[in-house]
A and B are shown apart, each in its own frame.
Chain A
Amino acid sequence: MSFISYLINGLSLGSVYAIIALGYTMVYGIAKMLNFAHGDVIMIGAYVALISMTQAGMSPIIAILIAVGVCTLLGVVIERIAYKPLRNASSSLAVLITAIGVSYLLQNVALLVFGANAQTFPSVIKWKGLSLAGGKLNISGETVVTIVVCLIIMAVLITFVQKSKPGQAMRAVSEDKGAAQLMGINVNGTIALTFAIGSALAAVAGVLLCSAYPSLTPYTGALPGIKAFVAAVFGGIGSIPGAFIGGLLLGVIEIFGRAYISSQMADAIVFAVLIIVLLVKPTGLLGKKIQEKV
């Protein structure tokens, strides 16, 4: 029984990783950059939802919508101010270091505004969850909702990218920015849209993460953010189904590692996965190979 319960917990955590990983993988696929600040957008989303609920007394649904709105705007503004000017910089390190700076900035703004003390995040899910096998297997409401939300987001996003006009524009830009431009696609707009979607999802992920692990600090987003990037690389960067599979696998690996190997080593195990993937199959499970042009 404990095995199944670990597995379900792993899938739940993995679902959060998958939602965050989507933001990384889409941005990487289209803007070819690692948005290091993505994890901190999650944290901002969680704080906004928390304030909306506890200080303004809003319902969880409204709070989530506000968090999504704030994060979407934040993502677009970050892209416009900090990343767009560096899109054609001579070194790809420039935008990566800037992204680290943005991450630092968001953490320190949160530190000043919300303080360093951990705040308790009230779960947005009131449902008690499932009790199966005569009470031997209890699955919390958060777990079920997280997995379901993740599945819905995946289905919607895949349909969006395959079927809608803006989604097709995204695919075109990720294939070849120059050609997309020639075809009359608004490249800047498409990149901004990608950041908007990724950041909106980050807000959702933030709320789900903090509902399951209810302690919120300015550093809450950093580690899950990095792990979600690992998930994106694991699944194959640039691939939406890859982010989903990578996220779920990573969540399961982490929970199993915590349960069966060592709770202190769980993070090390996750990072070891990244290293092994990059050395054995750098393109990830579903990624494509890119050859450098000489």
Chain B
Amino acid sequence: MQKTMKNKISTMNKNTRKNLLTYAIVIVAFAVMQTLISTGSVSSLLEGLMVPICIYVILAVSLNLVVGILGELSLGHAGFMCVGAFASAFFSKCMRDVITVDIVRFLLALLIGIVVAAVFGILIGIPVLRLKGDYLAIVTLAFGEIIKNLVNVLYIGKDENGFHFSTKDVMALDMEPDGTVIVNGPQGITGTPKDATFLIGFILILITLFIVLNLINSRDGRAIMSIRDNRIAAESIGINVTKYKLMAFTVSAALAGAAGVLYAHNLSTLTANTNNFGYNQSIMILVFVVLGGIGNIRGSIIAATILTMLPELLRGLPVSDYRMLVYAIVLIVMMLFNWAPKAIEWRERYLRFGRKKKEAVQ
């Protein structure tokens, strides 16, 4: 008994230690970059990548919650980012002259982006989570595309009589001459205050990590992972599958919304196109998750960071053209190596240490 208790305590520490290391890596990376930036030893292009890195880290970690922890493939993650971005940019643009303290306005915008994305997560999650596997993937993709499409036909203006909506064009808003267009269809929202900073992005990463890691290591997280590992057995011990699937999906959507808020407040013009909010983006985030290791939160952070910086680091080198090609090949090879039954058998035979290490960690 004594021994097992000790064993348990040491293992619990290991789990906590693993998480603490993840926080430490993020904090050190931030400190190093911040120092480099303040001493002017970083190119301005690279400096401009700091907020995008934060955005992608949050997106990758939150997607990993669905893919790695819940075990369902969502291809509409960018859609939730889109929702968060537009909701918050709309708010910030309206309130630009009303709330003049930048940080207060940004925090409110952040809250709005998160809440709206979470609501969309629930609304989309309820029907979608009844589906499984391939169907769930394709339907999330469909929802992502629909969101992107809807945003592109959305016109909102404001005059002395209040807000005007249309899905046709600016003229159809039928505003008084003093009215201003806030959301202008495919032209999106212009003039969002650039409130996002590296520091805010860094804090948001820490909050994301705190939420995701603590959720995973709790009663709810256990329930979510039990559904991933065996849905029928999870039901048989009384775990509410719908509730926990929805929980993981909604938290993931809300965090993607936060990333969207950062995105919207890092640019002066916000539009929705295939590359920022379409399924190309959703698949890019998935690439981060897979290359970082499905279910491995720290891996997602590292993969998102490196892969976002890579184009800049490789700029001018002849290999830069092959970057995407290499991602694709690495993705396929990693999937085969990690999941093919033959590869697993081979690993277990020749790489015994891998398995022992795994046991020790657990």
A and B, direct touch (CB closer than 8 Å): yes
Q: Give A residues with C-beta under 8 Å from B.
A: 28, 33-34, 82, 85-86, 88-94, 96-98, 100-102, 104-105, 108-109, 111-112, 226, 229-230, 233, 262, 264-265, 267-268, 271-272, 274-275, 278-279, 282, 292, 294
Q: Does B234 sit within 8 A of A, measured CB to CB?
A: no
- Give Cα A88 to B331, complex, Å: 19
- Give Cα A108 to B332, complex, Å: 14
Q: Does B23 sit within 8 A of A, measured CB to CB?
A: no
Tell me whether chain B's interface is mostly helix, strand or loop, or mixed. Answer: helix
Which chain B residues lie closer than 8 Å to A90 at the CB level?
Answer: 339, 341
Interface residues on B, range: 35 or more
- Pick from B142, B321, B325: contact of A275, CB below 8 A: B142
Which chain A residues lie closer than 8 Å to B143 at the CB level?
Answer: 271, 275
- Give Cα A33 to B327, complex, Å: 22
Smallest CB separation, A267 vs chain B (Å): 6
Find the A residue at minimum CB distance from B324.
A108
Find the B residue at minimum CB distance from A106.
B328
Q: Are A262 and B167 in contact, with the CB atoms below 8 A?
A: yes
Q: Are B134 and A89 in contact, with the CB atoms below 8 A?
A: no
Which chain A residues lie closer than 8 Å to B71 at the CB level?
Answer: 91, 93
- Give Cα A282 to B327, complex, Å: 34
* Given A96-B134, A229-B138, A278-B135, 20 other A-B residues pairs in contact with their CB atoms under 8 A: A33-B134, A34-B138, A89-B339, A93-B71, A94-B339, A97-B290, A98-B335, A98-B336, A101-B331, A101-B332, A105-B325, A108-B324, A112-B322, A262-B153, A264-B152, A264-B153, A271-B143, A271-B146, A272-B146, A275-B142
- Give Cα A88 to B321, complex, Å: 35
Q: Are B325 and A112 in contact, with the CB atoms below 8 A?
A: yes
- Give Cα A92 to B329, complex, Å: 20
Which chain B residues lie closer than 8 Å to A85 at the CB level?
Answer: 336, 340-343
Task: Say yes or no: A82-B73 contact (C-beta < 8 A), given A112-B321, A230-B142.
Answer: no
Which chain A residues lie closer than 8 Å to B167 at the CB level?
Answer: 262
Within 8 A of A (CB), among B120-152: 127, 130-131, 133-135, 137-139, 141-143, 145-146, 149-150, 152
Smallest CB separation, A110 vs chain B (Å): 10
Contact with A along B209-235 (1 / 0, CB 8 A): 000000000000000000000001000
